[in-house]
Amino acid sequence: MNSEDKSTRKNSAVKPNHRKKTSTKTGWFRKSFNPFRIATLRGLGILLPPLLTIMLFAWAWNTIERAILLPVESLSETALAYAIEDIRTESMIELETTGLENVQERFKSDPKGKLYTSLDGTLLIEFNNQWLPLDVFELVSANPGTANLSTAHDYYKRYVQLRYLKRHLVIPAFLAIFLGVMYIVGKLLAAALGRFFWHQFESLINRLPIIRNVYSSVKQVTDFAFSETDVQFTRVVAVEYPRRGIWSIGFVTGESMLDIRNAAGEPVLSVLMPTSPMPATGFTISVPKSETVDLDITIDQAIQYCVSCGVVVPDHQTAKTAIEGEFQKKNKNPIQPVSGTKVPRYAGPSTFARLPELRDVESCDVAIVGVPFDAGTSYRPGARFGPQSIRQASRQLRTKPTALTSE
């Protein structure tokens, strides 16, 4: 064997040991990382539902605020500003001071600007060749915000926002007005005249080529969500669907159509077969009542089961809970020693702890039997008396405090 063969064999013998060390390190890393991964996923599963709920409500509120609240608030600011503003131009000031004596006394200089006292006693300040009340100017100058204050009218809009349209007052007022408008619209549409105009509006929408497709889809969703005749899930059933041997959970929505019942020759149920993890979608099937199995779970528990893809199972439907329930039912009244207040401890049958004999009970899990056996002894028998001695000593065993109080 030459030197090259020796080196090749040596290298081939070293490589498996190297792989073994690498796999050992990888397995140790995975084993150490596994608890961290499990704890992280568990924390994510706990925190993700409330975070997604908060994000969903925040998105809905931001959409309503941008689309409805802010435009209504801006329109209200403009309307109130025009209603209460007291803006005077240079020509109005000249007209007011014409023919007055000591006109210059009504004007005075101030670090804030040029001031003027009007005939009605209002103190005005000049801003971009316009005069506005000093109290409005001071309040807005102290709290300019992000508004563009280029004109006196802008000052009044900001003044209205600071004085009258505060956010903690605007939001409740907006909600009250919004609900009131919805109530009035609902009442109008319930009347014959309101329905007539609404049908005319819908017929106009349905003539538009692209808009009618979007409108019809949105209308179907809103009609389903806000319909007065709500879809009621009466109970939860199990159905062999989509084929025999495979069981699926379904929601009974009512009885099926008359023609289907007549063809089947028996009662037929309309069952919604939800999909996971979105139980709001699924298939509606008609199933003979005899082929459904009623489940002892609520609608909410069934929805949780579908959303979790079968991970969240009601407690009373798990095998462990069923076994524990059967055990608790069986041991609801456990067999205990007779109380010494009823039968003296020296009296009664000579059983272990004065427990009843096997023939006096329906069933038992544990039976204590004495075996008087001493065939292995020589000259000095005595082991045969051991069980009797144990039974006599066990007469001092007492019942639990709960059993004493129940007696």
Model pLDDT for residues 113-171, shown as the tens digit of each residue: 778 778 777 888 888 888 888 888 888 888 888 778 888 888 888 888 888 888 788 88
Residue type, 96: E
Beta carbons within 10 angstroms of residue 138's beta carbon: 12
Residue 157 lies in a domain: yes
Give the three-state DSSP class for 113: strand
- Residues 316 and 270: their CA atoms lie apart, in Å, by 27
Q: Which residue in 337, 330, 328 sits closest to 404, CA to CA?
A: 337
Same-domain status, 300 and 361: no
- Predicted local confidence at residue 407, as pLDDT: 37
Same-domain status, 374 and 305: no
- Predicted local confidence at residue 12, as pLDDT: 46
Last residue of a domain, one of 167, 191, 215: 167
Same-domain status, 154 and 91: yes
Tokens of 65: 């605020």
- The answer to whether 274 and 250 are in contact (CB under 8 A) is yes
Task: Give the up-direction half-sphere exposure of residue 58: CA atoms within 13 A in the CB hemisphere.
Answer: 6
Last residue of a domain, one of 119, 141, 167: 167
Last residue of a domain, one of 319, 339, 364: 319
Q: Which residue in 317, 327, 255, 313 sits closest to 288, CA to CA?
A: 255
Same-domain status, 51 and 97: no
Residue recorded with tokens 């608890």: 35
**Which of 250-254, 274-278, 369-373 comes out lowest in average pLDDT?**
369-373
Same-domain status, 93 and 43: no
Same-domain status, 59 and 90: no
Residue 329 lies in a domain: no
Residue 78 lies in a domain: no
Beta carbons within 10 angstroms of residue 157's beta carbon: 22
- Predicted local confidence at residue 8, as pLDDT: 47
pTM of this prediction? 0.44
- Provide the pairing of β-strand 130-133 with 268-274: unpaired
pLDDT band at 219 (very low <50, low <70, confident <90, very high): confident
Same-domain status, 91 and 126: yes
- The answer to whether 274 and 251 are in contact (CB under 8 A) is yes
Tokens of 66: 């941008």
Residue 178 lies in a domain: no
Residue 176 lies in a domain: no
Residue 12 lies in a domain: yes
Residue 340 lies in a domain: no
Of residues 391 and 109, more confidence is placed in 391
Same-domain status, 120 and 155: yes
Provide the domain count of the chain: 4
- Residues 312 and 206: their CA atoms lie apart, in Å, by 45
Query: How do residues 294-329 score in pLDDT, each as one tens digit?
Result: 999 988 888 888 888 888 888 888 766 556 666 666
Mean pLDDT, the chain, whole residue set: 78
Structural domain that includes position 142: 85-167
Same-domain status, 108 and 41: no
Q: What contacts 46, CB < 8 A, 6 or more positions away?
A: none
Alpha helices in 113-227 (DSSP H): 134-142, 152-163, 167-190, 192-205, 211-226
- Residues 303 and 313: their CA atoms lie apart, in Å, by 10
Query: How do residues 182-208 score in pLDDT, each as one tens digit?
Result: 888 888 887 888 888 888 888 888 888
Query: How do residues 348-386 score in pLDDT, each as one tens digit?
Result: 778 888 888 877 777 777 777 877 777 666 666 777 778
Residue 199 lies in a domain: no
